[in-house]
Homo-oligomer: A and B are copies of this chain.
């Protein structure tokens, strides 16, 4: 028999659980109360939801003192959620005219473990333009690291020996639900995001999904990857 899709889908198919899951797309582990607030429900209800999500293997939980920290079980779950975001936004956009959005989320946000939003799309385009990566697909998740790219990234501090040991692909294109264009995911995308945080160029916002750049950090970031900086409110 084919696996029973409806089980996993129904877990995601509740409004409260869905907002918890999208909150966890920020990559950070969150406590039960934080998630309850995020979903706008009481802690009792949240507790029930969270145990279902853990039973359903969508989340893992780590107990720390009197807190319980929840996070997505793996990148495959994150990928599933991102694809749901894509499909959903495509569907709802056709109804609600054009996609409104929190401007901070539009500009830069975390997609589980890599950068998403306008800036990440600009980054991706620059990488393609400078032939660090090749983008084969039009709509889809194909990307390839060139030898130039490998050399340049190595110079920037990437250790491909380490990246290659992980089971996940190094270089991967991920479709952005707000921009509808590709951005960089995979182990390399993760490295870039971490690099941003390590260098203090950007930090996660309180709502944990938006990424806030410092003015200086933004300039350095743009310079490092040769990204043409646009005005904050540039025409669509």
Interface residue range, chain A: 35 or more
Residues A1 and B102 in contact in the complex (CB < 8 Å), given A56-B91, A84-B80, A86-B76 = yes
Candidates B7, B13, B83, B167; contact of A10 at CB < 8 Å: B13
Candidates B7, B14, B168, B169; contact of A6 at CB < 8 Å: B14
Cα separation A65 to B144 with both chains bound (whole Å): 48
State the Cβ distance, A148 to closest chain B Cβ, in Å.
16
A157-181 vs B, CB cutoff 8 Å, 1 = contact: the mask equals: 0000000000111111000010000
State the Cβ distance, A42 to closest chain B Cβ, in Å.
18
Q: Decide if B79 touches A1 in the complex (CB within 8 Å).
A: no
A90 interface residue, CB < 8 Å from B?
yes
Candidates B1, B56, B77, B168; contact of A100 at CB < 8 Å: B1
Q: Which residue of B lies closest to A18 (CB)?
A: B6
State the Cβ distance, A169 to closest chain B Cβ, in Å.
4
Cα separation A19 to B170 with both chains bound (whole Å): 35
Q: Decide if B144 touches A136 in the complex (CB within 8 Å).
A: yes
A196 interface residue, CB < 8 Å from B?
no
Residues A83 and B80 in contact in the complex (CB < 8 Å), given A13-B9, A139-B169, A172-B142 = yes
Q: Give the residues in chain B near A100, CB-CB below 8 Å.
A: 1
A140 interface residue, CB < 8 Å from B?
yes
A115-146 vs B, CB cutoff 8 Å, 1 = contact: the mask equals: 00000000000000000000011111111100
A81 interface residue, CB < 8 Å from B?
yes
A4 interface residue, CB < 8 Å from B?
yes
A203 interface residue, CB < 8 Å from B?
no
State the Cβ distance, A119 to closest chain B Cβ, in Å.
17
A43 interface residue, CB < 8 Å from B?
no
A–B complex contacts, Cβ < 8 Å, 9 sampled: A3-B177, A4-B15, A6-B15, A6-B18, A13-B13, A76-B86, A137-B172, A139-B168, A141-B172
